[in-house]
Structure formats: structure tokens, C-alpha cells
Structure 1
Amino acid sequence: MRSTEIVVAEGNEGPYGVAVGGDGAVWTTLVHAGAVARVSRDGSVARFSLDADGSRPSVIMPGPDGAVWFTRNGDDRIGRVGADGVVSAFEVGSGPYGVCVGPDGALWFTLMNVDRIGRLTVDGEVSLFEIGSSGGFPAMITADDGGVWFALNQGNAIGRMSLDGVVVLHPLPTEGAGPVGISAGGGGVWFTELMAGQVGRIDGEGKIVEYPLPDRSSKPHAVVATDDGGCWVTLWGSGSAIRLDAQGTVVEEISLGEGSEPHGLAVTADGEVWVALEIGVLAHIHA
């Protein structure tokens, strides 16, 4: 596979999250610029200002209503850009970061600063749920058929919440692992251990397996599960993206450049991979 690049921002504006919309356009958050950008199929770039300095748009995803939704970690909102280009936002609580679409069609998100999981309907109704930890720092979140899973970065655990708010926490075998990214698919849930240089997997029964990476200082950040049971992972520390098979073996590594700082990750249904690089670029990994 090879990687091509599309410049979407100035180097200090920091593309962070990335998502592919239903029309094939690619969206990214410009975390330091208070904006999001859209790359159309022909490569043209459109920019949407949030008119809110310090809003820090972070994780982004296609929503259930044809819009894209994203967390605004700096001003405690969930943002939305509709198919008509209209920008809006909903206040949700302190420190929203991870966001996903739940099996109930609502948006579920983490609140890092207050150890809560939130639920937001497309009409703007907000519900908040305690996760039973203090200082756990919930990071990214993902959904399965019956609930949501989330990484507790400082709590060193993976949590699962049912749709009625019941939480089960699963401590990680490695101390101080610093889980961040998480993605359900292929019969299990993959997650990254930023501080331990490992990728892990947990099944529905709570069994955890950890896979040490060849470079333990590579700082694995985001992860996306793939249909074959494996996953893609961005390595923030080593400026690359890797693919693991279902047994946790690294089968491919794509260098994205020294100092590129890869963060967000999206994988299309046909296997195309997009990575947000904080140097102002989206990397497109394709055959």
C-alpha cells in the first residue's frame, strides 16, 4: 500500500480527528484553529469556521442524520455541520472528547473532566451517566449491538455501559498503560495503550489480551477495527500507521514521516485508510 497527502490547513492548525461521510467526502477537525475541513472526492477543500476561538474541535464522525458531528473539547459542546453546510452546536458538559453513534441511533460521548458518559439525540436532548470512577479520564468511545465501550485513560481500564447506564469496568493487566483509542468490530473490541506501547483486545466476556508492539515507544493512539478481525492503528510517537491481523501480529506499517504526529484514523468499507496528521495534512493510504 502507498500513502498520498492532501494539505488541509496550516502546520500549526492541527488536523486531529478524521471521518468519511456517506457521500465519500473526508472531514477533519482543525483542533487549534476552531474549524473543520471537508475534502471532496475531487480533492477540493472547504473550510467551516466555528466562530469560537479555543473550541478545540477533536473527534469527528458521520452522524445518523447525514451530518457530521464532533466534540468541542475547549468549550464543552458537541458540534454539527449539516449537509447544507450549516454549523450548530449543543452544550453537553465538561470536556467532551470521544463520540460515536450508539445502537439506539443517538450520539454517545465521553466527558473527560467529570468522569461521565453522555447521550445526545439529534434533536439536542442530553442525558448524562456516571461511570463509577474518579479521575478516570474517559477518552474515546465505540458502540456494539447493545451498548458502548470506552477507554479510561487514567483509570487504566476499559469500560462498558449498557443503554440504560449500567457500567462494568475491566482493569488492564499492564499498570499505567494509558488507554486512548477504542473500536468495536470483528467479534471484539480493540484498544490502544499509549503509554505501554501495546494494542489490546477485549471480548464480550471481559477477557483481555495485550499485544506488545515492536517499538514500545511508538505511542499508539487511534484504532479502527476491520472486518477481517484485525485493526489499523496510528502511532503518534513513530509517525506511522500499522495494520494488525486478528492474532495481533503487525502485518503492515506505513511511514507517514518523522514529526508528522498522526492522530485520527478512518477506514472506508472498501479498505481505504485516512489519517489526520497534525502537520496540516490528511494522509490517504490506498493500494
Structure 2
Amino acid sequence: MARSIEQFPVGEPGAGPYAVAAGPDGALWFTLVHGAALGRLVPGEPAATVLPLDGAATPMIITPGPDGALWFTDAGRHLVGRAAADGTVTEYPLPTPGASPFGIAAGPDGALWFTETAADRIGRIGVDGKIEEYPLPLRESFPSTIVAGPDGALWFTLNQANAIGRLALDGALAVHPLPTPEAAPVGLAAGGDGALWFTEIGAGQIGRLTPDGRTDEFALPDPGCRPHAIAAGADGDLWFTEWATARLGRITCDGTVEEFALPPGSEPHGLTLGPDGAVWTALESGTLARLAPPGPARTAPVRPSSR
């Protein structure tokens, strides 16, 4: 039986849902990148709650923090924000002007870590609002998504440097170049197999990197699909979005790929495993899409190339 996909309109037309995260309150929290707002949707309820921000805001990625709040990056106003469960928003401007923060994730040290795409820096913000910044040695590297790895370090994609970076809590930095030229990694997630999984938007591939530096790349059925975001699933699998072809994909640790069609032109970006066991995706066309579990789909086993 095929898995059904439902859509839930959120925000005003053109507001552009971009990232979505499962909050500790059992709700889905999302950013409205063109609508200068955050949103909250409880699975099973028909309507979302919208939390307006300043009109110049460009909220990007949102993630649950260790303090029970949701933390987000605002590239338009160059700040990191905190949204409490009651909707109260606190904002923390970054020390570096024009930093354009993008990715954000909870670290193993009880703080939030984020990327500064325009400043070639990795930032750290404590739940008390104290900010530290760590410059990267690569210029115009465009650090993008960041996650806590299985080794206690922070890992991040370097979109324009065609590499994956690792920053230890003591400040030690390592850079892992990718085998495929101009792969342009964007999304990154920690897999249940102890590896880091990432999307190669420029190469139409999913990558896997072990903490010791071994890289595997899995070619997707359509090389022009432009995979964007990636997130861990419930059974050790990884889910990802294909921006150009409007599909939601699933890849297992052995490289088997499933794909699910989304509405044409819907521009899927961020995704998460929801509290209801479904996969939720932010469609920039104006909705959150819900893929109900479980069911068969088109499969395509692929062979990795190891470097």
C-alpha cells in the first residue's frame, strides 16, 4: 500500500515555509523565510499558530535546544533567536556584522552551535545568551548545516569549499574534502550507524562520512534532483528532500533509495521526523507536507564509490 501525503497550509501566501523541527512540546515548529515569522503546528490539529518577528527578519533553520525552547537563525538581521514554549521570543545579535547565520544545532556541551555563512565562522551560544565565534581558515567557504556528531564534535558542511568540517569542543579543526568536484554539500545529519550523512546539491548524490574520514557517495536516480536537506529516520535510515524534482527520498545504510513524489514546483527544503512517526517536510510553496508511515515505494539500489 502506498504511503499517503497530506498538505497543511501555513502562514500567508508567499510566506515560504523553509525549515521544520519537532519540538519538545509535541508540536512541529517551522520558519517562514519570506514571511518574517515562526510557526507552530500540532499534528492532528488543522491550523498552525504564527509568531510574527520583525519585518526585516529572515528566519532560516530552527532546532530544539537543551532548555526546552526552540532556537533559530535569522540571516536577515544577523542574529540567533530563542522561542519559548509560550511564544516569547528573545533575540541575540551576533558580534560579527553581516554574518548571515544559517545552520544551528544543540551541541554536546549544553550550548547551541551555528554557522555564519558570510563570515566563515562557527558560532556558539549558551542558553544564557553568551556568544563565542571560531573563525575558519577557508575564505568564502559558506558553512551551512551543522550537527553534533557521534564523537562529541560539531560537524558542518562547507558548501563552497566542497568539504565537510569538524570542530572539536577544544577548538581543534579538521576539514575533509569531498571526492566529487563541485558537489556543494548542504544538508547534514548524524546517522544511526555512527556516520555523518550529507546531501550533495551540485552532484545529485548522498554522501556518508565516518568520523575517521572515510567517504562514500551514493548517486541518486536523477543527477539533477538537487538534494537539499537530510534528517535521520526512525529505523536507521535517512530522509532527504530533492528540491529540483520535488521529491522526498529515503536512503538506507546499504544505499537503497526510495522516492516519493511531492506536488510539482513545491520546492521542498527542511524535514524532520514528527512526534506522530510521520516525516514532515517544509514546502516553500506554502505548506507542511506529511508522509504517513509506512508503505512501499519505488526503490533503486545504488553502489557507493569509496574514497
Both proteins in one fold, TM over 0.5: yes
Q: Deviation of residue 270 (structure 1)?
A: 6.3
Q: Deviation of residue 230 (structure 1)?
A: 2.4
Instruction: Check if 1:206 corresponds to 2:208.
Output: no
Which letter does structure 2 place at the counterpart of 1:268? Answer: G
Distance 2:12 2:254 in 1: 39
Instruction: Check if 1:266 corresponds to 2:269.
Output: no
Q: Deviation of residue 274 (structure 1)?
A: 0.6
Aligned twin of 2:140: 135
Aligned twin of 2:89: 87
Aligned twin of 2:109: 104
In 1, are the aligned partners of 2:72 and 2:82 still within 8 Å (CA)?
yes
Deviation digits for residues 2-40 of structure 1, max 9, x if unmatched?
211110023311100101111211111000111011112
Distance 1:269 1:162 in 2: 31
Runs of 4+ in 1 over 6 A off after TM superposition: none
Aligned twin of 1:165: 171
Deviation digits for residues 146-193 of structure 1, max 9, x if unmatched?
111000000000011101111100000001111000001211000000
Which letter does structure 2 place at the counterpart of 1:155? Answer: A
Distance 2:275 2:147 in 1: 17
2:161 to 130, 155, 160: 155
Secondary structure, aligned partner of 2:198: strand
Distance 2:176 2:233 in 1: 23
RMSD, matched Cα: 1.3
Distance 1:270 1:102 in 2: 25
Distance 2:274 2:11 in 1: 23
Deviation digits for residues 107-153 of structure 1, max 9, x if unmatched?
00000011110000011000001222111000000102411100000
Instruction: Check if 1:219 corresponds to 2:231.
Output: no
Distance 1:234 1:195 in 2: 14
Q: How many residues align?
A: 285
Distance 1:269 1:170 in 2: 34
Aligned twin of 1:116: 121
TM-score with structure 2 length normalisation?
0.90
Report the identity percentage: 47
Deviation digits for residues 29-77 of structure 1, max 9, x if unmatched?
0001110111123233111011x22321000111111111110011101
Matches within 5 A, 1:60-79: 60-79=62-81
Structure 1 segments unaligned to the other structure (5+ residues): none
In 1, are the aligned partners of 2:239 and 2:248 still within 8 Å (CA)?
yes
